[in-house]
Structure 1
Amino acid sequence: MRRAQPLKLSALTAALVLVTSALWPMTASAGLFDDEEARKAIVELRTRFEQSQQRQAQFEENERKALAAQVADQVEQISVLKRSLLDLNAQMETLRSEMAKLRGADEQLAQGNKDLARELADLQRKYKDAMAAIDDRIRRLEPQRVSLDGKDAVVDAPEKKAYDEAIGILRKGEFANAATALAAFQKRFPSSAYNGHVQYWLGNALYGKGEVKEAMSIFRTLVSTTPDHPRASEALLALANCQIELKDGKGARKTLEELIANYPQSEAAQSGRERIKQIK
């Protein structure tokens, strides 16, 4: 905190020097500014500087709140897991105690007590199931490595689950529900490694439900923001298909030419060459 104030004063001083240096030649040569005008200019500059500092402080406060919310969410997830682990541990202790009692009945089992033998086998199965459940819960919270069009990426378990569920809905042909799920994914995970793919499939879902213009906007945004994305060439081909459906042959031809020029070796470009021949 002691270092922040000198930085603000230095920035203000630099700004004042800049204004003074800018006003000096004009004062010396033409006498256009008097002391009152110079004072107003300095006050205005100081006001702008203070407003800039306030905006910066507000931005930092918003970032802090967002980070705090994220940390609180993670803490809650860990708390739930801990409670689950404690419950399972209690169950395991109970099972161990019961198994210990049953082991004391080995002599009876040797005499053919089939009922106790079945009970022991059932307890062993429950113990294995409990251990498998613990491993599964822990695994669900660990980051996972996935392959996206040949590129490896690390995503959190909730991200992978949400993406897989949305794609599963799309594969069923439920375009409206798929569009809703994919849009919700973008809001929930704005920095996810899946986002380029989510954007591409969202465009397809919108196209499937008949919202052609909205799909065009999604495809164009994908190409404009991430031209090196593995799905960029396919997005351009899909965009051209939308334009053809809207009877925009000129726009479709331009899009296909862009596709062929920027992604000449892609499968989408090969399809684009065939498609452009069909446009009148």
Structure 2
Amino acid sequence: MKQILAKRFMARIGTAGAIASAVLFVGPLHAQNSPLSLADRVARLEQQAQNRDQSGTSLVNRLQQMQSQMQQMQGQIEELQHQLQDLQDKGKAQYVDLDSRIGRLEHASASPNPAGQPAHAASTGGAAAAATASPPPAAGSASAASQGTPAPTPANATMQAAYGAAFKSLRGGDYVAASRGFRDYIQKYPDTSLTPNAFYWLGESYYVTQNYPVALEAFQHLLAQFPDSEKAPDARLKLGYTQLELKQHAAAEATLKSVVAKYPGTKAASLAQERLRRLDQAH
């Protein structure tokens, strides 16, 4: 009996020792694992904080890029607004110029006409009125001999009516009908006292609508066919303006200087000098 009790006691002691040993073995493992888990957590938090910093930096960069793009767009908008204002000013100046010319024409047409010619036969320089009010010079006259070309034929009633219809369209702002009318007149009556005026107003109708290549041709035809016409100074001036619009700067400057040289003291020469002065300032 005593032996049995002793064996049981020893067994209990052995079991208790095993449990104690297990506790002693697991304790250090738990002590070692706990700091590693905390370090992992700290590392994870640091990584998250770093990711947040990178995201914040990326957001700032994007905002800066957007601000830069907005500034560029603002600059482009301002440049477009400036160009639009220039175009509006240019168009206004063209219409003012045309209106002033038509106004002078209307004023001239309101004066008495001793030859009984219709008012629309007058021009800004009076070339048509002078041509229709007096007969053509004799073939042996000094002016005809010096020019070497026959004088234009005086416009009859049919010619004057065709010219007047085209000019009425011009005054009404119907530049398409005006250009068509002046072209028809030139084709039907290529050498009359009103033909130089038809060429000039044809060029004006295209110039005002910014069809510069065709306007250039009209002014050049006038100067080539009627170099001594009273419309020649204005046509040469507008030729220079048209060349500027077509970016033909060297040719334009030469044309404007020729206006000053050929027609000193005229309104055309004064306008040419003013445009040359503005070109010098721009350079």
TM-score, normalised with respect to structure 1: 0.46
Which structure is larger by alpha-carbon Rg, 1 or 2?
Answer: 2
TM-score, normalised with respect to structure 2: 0.46
Q: Highest relative contact order (Cα 8 Å, sep 6+), 1 or 2?
A: 2
